[in-house]
Structure 1
Amino acid sequence: MGKIAERLAQLGIVLPDPAIPSANYVPTRRVGTCLYVAGQVPTREGQDQFTGKLGDTVSLAEGQAAARLCAINLLAQLSKALDGDLDRVAGVVRLGGFVNAVPEFGDHSKVINGASDLMVEVFGDAGRHVRIAVGSSSLPRNVPVEVEGLFEIQRM
């Protein structure tokens, strides 16, 4: 068992089977030593676990939990692309977070912390990244959060 797999086990995280794209895109794409992971939504076993808008039917705590689940799904896609060897991740470069929110909502960054915090919990200092957290008037299937990622990979 690798170092990152051990860390996931310590955190009680079991990576799910990665979601199959629901439109015309690929889940991951390698460019040089970087691996891009397409936006992931808060699903588990093919079912959306959260729906609605922040500032309306979804609380800040629920939004953070949804972002954390998005990050777990990012790791699942990443693991598949790396044949299960997450120790090949040299660092998390960037996360892009999209928050389905009412116009008056202003805590987008706090919501996406759910994903950012997980990356640091899993990868330590290598999990620190640049980030964007933006509001959106809607997201696919009315999920409250979507998160994409860019990872630096060693030994490609």
Structure 2
Amino acid sequence: MPGRIDARLQELGLTLPVAAKPIANYVPTVRTGNLLVVSGQVPMRDGVIAYTGKLGAGVGMDDAQAAAQLCLVNVLAQAKAALDGDLDRVVRVVRLGGFIACLPEFTAMAMAMNGASDLAVAVFGEAGRHARSTIGVPALPGDAAVEVEAIFEVA
């Protein structure tokens, strides 16, 4: 029987992928006390980065928000793997960090990151409301348009 969060994901029409393996010398998650830190995830779908490029240079806001949402889906896949398949153990989304690949004059990074933030609230309700930082960067791994990292309080 699926848990509460798995049922919510299903209601939203979302299926979590298998958690991706790291591409460099780091681990995908670290648990310390009641915190689970998830390394940055790019908008990977079926082994391919689905959204590439920069905002202000060909990537529109709708695609940027979709990329941020897909990043959070991949963050949740990592969290689920770290929590033995049980996302109901997430007590709260504490913080999301977003990195938005963009031109220097682009300043609407926060709007792009709303794709991830809105999904966190849709999945976890009030427990999905979180602190957040969003930073514009000149480039991301694999030319990804967005990268999202997270900190969860877990039971």
Counterpart of 1:36 in structure 2 is 37
Matches for 1:111-130 after TM superposition, within 5 Å: 111-130=112-131
Question: SS at 1:151's partner residue?
Answer: strand
Letter in 2 for 1:57: G
- Name the residue aligned to 2:9: 8
Aligned equivalents of 2:141 and 2:148: distance in 1?
A: 12
Aligned to 2:90: 89
The Cα of 1:8 is off from its aligned counterpart by 0.4
Q: What secondary structure does 1:138 align onto? A: coil
Q: Tell me what 2:77 maps to.
A: 76
Q: Does 2:99 correspond to 1:103?
A: no
Which amino acid is the alignment partner of residue 89 of structure 1? Answer: V
Normalised TM-score (structure 2): 0.98
- Deviation per CA, 1:71-129: give whole Å up to 9, x if none: 00000000000111000000000000000000110110000000000000000000000
How many angstroms apart in 1 are the aligned matches of 2:88 and 2:129? Answer: 16
Report the CA distance between 1:57 and its aligned residue: 1.2
C-alpha displacement at 1:45, in angstroms?
1.5
For 1:122, give the aligned amino acid.
V
Cα RMSD for the two superposed structures? 0.5
Query: Partner of 2:20: helix, strand, or coil?
Result: coil
User: Unpaired runs of 5+ in structure 1?
Assistant: none
Is residue 24 from structure 1 mapped to residue 25 from structure 2 by the alignment?
Answer: yes
Distance 1:152 1:88 in 2: 9
Report how far residue 139 of structure 1 moved. Answer: 0.6
Which stretches in structure 2 are left out of the alignment for 5+ residues? none
The residue aligned with 1:63 is 64
Residues in 2 aligned to 1:18 and 1:45: alpha-carbon distance in whole angstroms? 11
Deviation at residue 19 of structure 1 after TM alignment: 0.7
Distance 2:139 2:13 in 1: 31
Deviating beyond 6 angstroms after TM superposition, the runs of 4 or more aligned structure 1 residues are: none
